[in-house]
Chain A
Amino acid sequence: MKKYTITLIRSLFLLFVLAGCGEDFLEQEPTDSISEEKVFDSYITANSALIGVYNQLSSFNFEGLYNPIMSDIMGEDIMINSVDNWNWFVPVYQMNVLPNYSYIDNPWWSGYKLIHDANQIIDNAIFIPDATSDQIDELTGQARVLRAYAMLKLAQMYSVAYSKDPSAPSILLNTDSEITDSGFSRASLTDVYEQIENDLLTAISQLDNNTDKGFFDKRAAQAVLARAYLDMENWQGAADMANSASEGITLMTINELYSGFNTRNSETIYSIAYTQEDNNVYLSIPSFYWPVAGYSSMRANDEFVNKFSNGDARKGFFLKVAEIDPDRNLIVKFAHNNAVGNAERICIRASEMILIEAEAEAELGNYTNSQNLLYRIQSRANPGVIKSTATGQALIDEVLLERRKELFGEGFRWNDIKRRQLPFVRTGDHWVTLSFTAQDPDYYRLTFPIPQSEIDANELLSNADQNVGY
């Protein structure tokens, strides 16, 4: 009751001074939120806003689950069960999606929220009164990597390959946090990749290397740029960036390959720092991949499994257990960490960089270097392997095959097919088989539609701006 008495007295007081401080009386703020002007009043809150962007990145709608899982089931090597899966991702696997599906909506809206949140930091960090210039560089540098990472992923999903037509319409380019009332047109791939490149080059100059691999550092910025250059077929750039990103890194050992890909290790460049307390444990990679506890609905294609030689340790990622699935290969690459779904997701690791470098070097004609890099990856899983002597396209093909073997389940296959304009061939024990080449009309299936919700809300877009085929 005392509280109320005080409130009453205070209110009575207010009543009599109301004329004087009426404006103040009518200003109220929630206690569980901060008004946006106050976020950049101090380094501590601004840094919390940066944490919030990482949280957005780690969301299951984006890099936590949707993006990596869809990037593999839109390929030939991995499939999702048709049953006992509550229908998760089934239309994506069937490559039969419509613009109003949540699988189309969620990464788009999540990605753009991430970009907006990063924009806020990039635009406002310089105004933080108590931040040192190093702190400002650190904030904006990371925010730029986050923005570039999201834009690259969205561009890969929602537009045709850069290698096919750099002038083709890509995603919306929003780098100004202030714009809230107008629509956005689709920028060309050239513009989008230029933005990505600029962000990452700036970030590389702003960031240092950091030991906490749960956050983007200089190496991570270089790694993301290597990926972008790979899409752009800027082979020299890709080779240089991949080399810098992985320089001096110790690769995982053969035993570490079996440790479940659920905690960061020596070759991790960036990993989502997952905590089970504040995330949905069932919407996680191991929940879908590991054969027990969770959805457990991922299977490997038999023909893909057969591509591994018997001496290849990675063949041990597959097994058949009749009680779980009598027909198809289970995958034991991604494991729970003590509790269901508890797993960091390693998004960038050195092996990928080495394979990027190998591919780029092969394209540049530096075959020996390429063969050595390829051998580094192959020989770890299979110490008895013979170093490749292939050159030209044959070497490139070997590197691409090695990417499938080394990186399956980590979210690369969809874009690898697309950027290389490879034929899409699903055979073997897939429950949806497909076969088409880059010249077939069906190739549109490798590009997501722009979400209908975006077209409806964005005054500068109409159905005429939709991707071909939808």
Chain B
Amino acid sequence: MLFYLLGANVIFAQELAVEGKVKDENGEFLPGVNVVIEGTTQGTVTNFNGYYTLTVPDKDSKLVFSFIGTETVVVPVNNRSTINVTLKQTVQELESVMVVAYGTTTEEAYTGAASVVDSKVIENRPVTSFEKSLQGTTPGLMVSSSSGQPGSGSTIRIRGIGSLSASSAPLFVLDGIPMSGSITDINPNDIESITVLKDAAASSLYGSRAANGVVLITTKQGKAGSTKISFNSQMGVSQRISKGYDLMNSTQFYEHSWMGLYNQALINGESIDDARAYAHANVKETVGYNPFGVDNPLDNNGQLIPGTQILTDTDWRDEIYKNGIIQNHNLSISGGSDLTKVFLSLGYFSDSGITLGSDFKRISNKINVSHKINSFLEAGLNSHLSYSKTNAPPSGSGGANPVRSAEVINAASPVYNEFGEYEWGNKAVFDFNPVGLAELDQYKYDTKRAVVNTYLNVKISPSFNFRTSAGIDNSINNGLNYYNPYHGNGAGVNGRTATSNTDNFGWNISNILTYSKATNNSYFEALIGQEALGQDVSILSAGVTDFSVPGRPELVWGSKPGQPSSATYSWTMASYLSQIKYDLNDKYFFSTSARMDGSSRFGKNNKYGLFYSVGFGWQLTQEDWMPEFKWLDNAKLRVSYGTSGNNNIGNYASLGLYGSGANYGGYPGLTPTQLANEDLSWEKIKSLNVGLELNLFRKLDASIEFYNRNSNGLLFARPLSAGTGFGSIISNLGAMKNTGVETALNYRLIENKNVFSSIGFNISFNTNEILELTTEQIVSGTKLLEEGSSIYQFYMREWAGVNPDNGRPMWYVNADSDDREDNTLPSSAYEDPLGSGRNVTSDYNDAERKRLGTSLPKAFGGLNYSLNYKNFELSMYFFYSLGGQVYNNDYATNMHDGTQPGSNLATDALNAWTPNNRYTDVPRYVKNNMDESNQMSSRFIEDASYLRLKNITIGYNFPSSLYESLKIRNLKAFLSGENLFTLTKYRGYDPEVAINGTTSNTIPGTKVITLGLKVEL
């Protein structure tokens, strides 16, 4: 019967062929527009020139034209054979879908403060990890990379620093799964978008993990339609980001060392002749090597006798630093039908590093599949697999840090001896020739990572939806450090290997039920859900010493085993969450959320925490009373308030514990290690956000946000009397406040057929203030923690320059400072001979310490420009940071004024005080200098403000005529430069240092130029 009817239909219908072209408002032909006969699934798609043709069953059929970002138009055929259509762009461009906590929303309806960064910013950047690309793109987001070690992570802070001693890092969520391991395993090219959740309305649904913001990473999904294969390949060269300050060459260092000896003898009361003789006799021993061909290369004034041959002049930086080669290859396949969609990618990234012994390689694979089982069931899987290998020599002040060695080994020290073997006798890091160690020692790490998450979505009814998902995040890290038996760290024990194996397993299960109901003028959505998650980290480590066979690092080759260790650390969390959203008349938007978290980390008396938020959005331009300004397209006001927590308080901080390893006399022993604190709980944060979004002149998008984040109950080790047996107890005691303003502007300069160009700017101001501490003042290193100050407030003696009469250092006495209780001038005080009118002292201990500003920038942000002209694309991203300070430890090491006699000096030290060079900022140079001139003081604090061209990319889309016959859809070449240019007064390599504003001889940042090609089939 059915067949019969269909047949009849065919016979009696008056078939008609229709063709036409589809344009947009600007007269541009639109390819890819869906043209469907209404009421059927029959249809076609417009081609490259916006042309379509199809056959309709009868003259009364209606055609439905639909395209993303435009209105859908229904046109009756009315017996016409040519139908041309113009599709209008949907006015609410704003209404793009964004990924938010536990779901999606439209930007228009969103009541929280969140920023979305799309794949364009992240793709094809020659960096190992996406967060480095985010710098400057998002207001309120601070990204700082202190090391140029490829594969190393960055410090990320959203809206200031929220914690005193617990981690202030945000929560990262990958396709709905909270990440337990490093974010650097993710291939940036797999990312579709990043959403940064900043205020309570946006993030509070993550409860006890949301205090420091949340970063949602959404990976690419397959799209229905023909299968797209995309391959892009990128290769480039990296270099250290700048040359840094100059170091002395061998002649300068030899002469300067002579002067140090000469001055030392004079200070010890010897005659000028004796001092000269002393300096001549000891200069070689001080420097370590005589870099010249003759025994007595210096004249009576310590200057090189002209014409002397220089045999050694090692530039240790040249020996350590090299050009890195970066390769980034990605293959992705995307496609599917309405029922099943697949995205698959394979990525390879390799960075050979800019220093000896440092590199990184990563292979990654992504499979995202979704399948509609039937009309109400959908299942899917998102998986990430990766394997990475890193070689990373240690940073810090140890002898094994090659970066430090490059700065401190003097240029008179040769790399090789006359037999071509490594020379180990340098005076700065004796027995640690970095070139030799790079060959002999090993610092190998590898990581295997799997993040897999599956879900089942049940559309119970048009209003009810249930989604259950389960995921795991597993990283397995192996590390092996090998110190060779002959030189450096392993020499004392005839070689040492230390290995460790960490298995980090996180799991997560969530069940979410949503109800949504739309009426003509309102929309209501409610969500309730449950979530359980946990993490187990197992560590196994072992080491051996005493190696017999050289170059064999495995444990079996060592004959003396050390104490091995193993342990598992776990935590669990059970949560219930809910959220209600209500929109009225597209004018008022209301949202509220509540979450209860119970965590094994919290103390017995505080097992469960409740977190809530309320948010309100108001579309001012929709109000009738609002006058219609021609220039004002859209204005929206947002207000939100809510609470969240930080559960990074350690897994067992609330328990009273006895630890193992207190062995005695061969018997295993236990010892109390931690006092119980059954009240211990999450750190609490209350945040208020007020935001205004404006669209002006159809060209300018502007937003301004004000926020106030009050955190309290901050974890803090409260000092205890020794009588309790413990030095401190972890307690929820501190309080801190971050207030700030963020502004982002985006202006579309030109929008027409051939040219699109836009410019964007954002700026963030944040003030960090400690509100409560248990101890009045805590001095730690370069910092002072106290109520009313920033967490990174510098506190040290204030440098006053050099006394022109004797070359000794001077510090301001600052007797009125509260460093010492009494305000009396010390006997060593005198009036500043440089005329400041203040009292100075040359006795370091008599100067009082002073508050000297903070390492946190006063303002930071980004500036970007993009231009599309016909087939050309140009984009530029700038980042700037203003007003932060750095205590430059590295520079201090190179300005040691003779305290480290064999260590190399910056050429700035050539300006040291002498009787003929009295007005200088560099004190006298004396071997074994006792003046304490290079002790911690504001002498080494620098302004770290900078402006950097983070990225510039020039792309060219080859005209399709060139390759259409090859079945290639798109072919694009691009040239990209990372960190090419920096404007700063900072002396070191890179003003982007650790967030606390101290340097520690880490590998400097890199600048990279890459060339890439992208092919789409």
Contacts and interface: CB of A to CB of B under 8 A. Distances in A.
Contact of A51 (B470, B599, B664): B664
B723 A184 contact: yes
B532 A35 contact: no
Contact of B722 (A28, A112, A117): A112
A58 interface: yes
A245 to B, nearest CB: 21
A461 B534 CA distance: 44
User: What is the predominant secondary structure among interface residues of chain B facing chain A?
Assistant: strand
A8 B472 contact: yes
A134 B536 CA distance: 42
B49 interface: no
Contact of B509 (A12, A23, A50, A273): A12
Given A54-B665, A273-B665, 12 more contacts: A7-B505, A28-B652, A31-B568, A33-B673, A39-B658, A113-B726, A117-B672, A174-B724, A183-B721, A273-B664, A273-B666, A275-B663
Interface string B437-474: 00000000000000000000000000000000010101
Contacts of A52: 658, 662, 664, 669-672
A180 B663 contact: no
A467 B568 CA distance: 46
A195 to B, nearest CB: 13
Given A12-B509, A15-B509, A36-B658, A113 B725 contact: yes
Contact of B656 (A11, A35, A183, A459): A35
28 contacts: A4-B505, A7-B505, A15-B509, A26-B572, A26-B573, A26-B599, A26-B607, A29-B652, A30-B567, A30-B568, A30-B655, A33-B652, A33-B674, A34-B670, A37-B656, A39-B670, A49-B658, A49-B671, A51-B670, A52-B664, A52-B669, A53-B669, A112-B723, A117-B725, A179-B723, A184-B723, A275-B665, A459-B721
B533 to A, nearest CB: 9
B725 A54 contact: no
Contacts of B536: 7
B512 to A, nearest CB: 13
Interface in B715-734: 719-729
Contacts of A179: 723-724
Residue in B570, B574, B670, B671 whose Cβ sees the most chain A Cβ within 10 Å: B670
Interface residues of A, number: 68
B915 interface: no
B563 interface: yes
B651 A28 contact: yes
B723 A172 contact: yes
Nearest to B729: A180
Given A25-B574, A172-B721, A33 B659 contact: yes
B668 interface: yes
Interface in B561-610: 563, 565-574, 598-600, 607
B258 interface: no
A41 B722 CA distance: 27
Interface in A97-149: 108-109, 111-113, 115-117, 119-120
A191 B348 CA distance: 73
A428 B656 CA distance: 54
A14 interface: yes
A457 interface: yes
Nearest to A22: B574
Contacts of A51: 662-665, 667-670
A374 B657 CA distance: 50
Contacts of A33: 652, 655, 657-660, 673-674
Given A49-B670, A454-B722, A32 B660 contact: yes
Given A51-B667, A52-B662, A273-B666, A22 B655 contact: no
A25 to B, nearest CB: 6
Contact of A26 (B568, B598, B657): B598
Contact of B659 (A15, A22, A32, A184): A32
A28 B572 contact: yes
B657 A35 contact: yes
B671 A26 contact: no
B651 A55 contact: no
Contact of B725 (A45, A119, A456): A119
B117 interface: no
Contacts of A440: none
B598 A22 contact: yes
A31 B659 CA distance: 10
A27 interface: yes
B675 interface: yes
Contacts of A29: 652, 655
Interface residues of B, number: 62
Contacts of B566: 32
Contacts of A45: 670
Residue in A48, A54, A458 whose Cβ sees the most chain B Cβ within 10 Å: A48
Contacts of A117: 671-672, 725
B606 to A, nearest CB: 11
A8 B536 CA distance: 13
Interface of B: 470, 472, 474, 505, 507, 509, 511, 530, 532, 534, 536, 563, 565-574, 598-600, 607, 651-652, 655-676, 719-729, 775
- Nearest first, the 6 closest Cβ-Cβ pairs linking A and B are A116-B725, A273-B665, A51-B669, A52-B662, A457-B719, A112-B722
B350 to A, nearest CB: 28
Contacts of A459: 721
B727 to A, nearest CB: 6
Contact of A34 (B509, B573, B657, B675): B657
Contacts of A394: none
Contacts of B721: 172, 183-184, 454, 457-461
Given A18-B574, A113-B725, A172-B721, A30 B670 contact: no
A34 B673 CA distance: 10
A76 B175 CA distance: 73
Contacts of A116: 672, 723-726
Given A26-B599, A31-B568, A273-B664, A108 B722 contact: yes
Nearest to A27: B600
B664 A15 contact: no
Nearest to B599: A26
Nearest to A56: B671
Interface in A301-329: none
A55 B511 CA distance: 51
A451 B569 CA distance: 35
Contact of A456 (B569, B599, B661, B775): B775
A444 B775 CA distance: 30
Contacts of A14: 532
A369 interface: no
A84 interface: no
Contacts of B530: 15, 18
Contacts of B658: 33-36, 39, 49, 52
B562 to A, nearest CB: 8
A74 B728 CA distance: 31
Nearest to B452: A4
A214 interface: yes
Interface string A8-20: 1001101100100
Contact of B474 (A4, A34, A55, A274): A4
A50 B655 CA distance: 21
Nearest to A50: B669
A277 B563 contact: yes
A14 to B, nearest CB: 7
Contacts of A26: 572-574, 598-600, 607
B664 A55 contact: yes
B651 A30 contact: yes
Contacts of A119: 725
A174 B726 CA distance: 12
A34 B674 CA distance: 11
Given A15-B509, A34-B658, A116-B724, A28 B664 contact: no
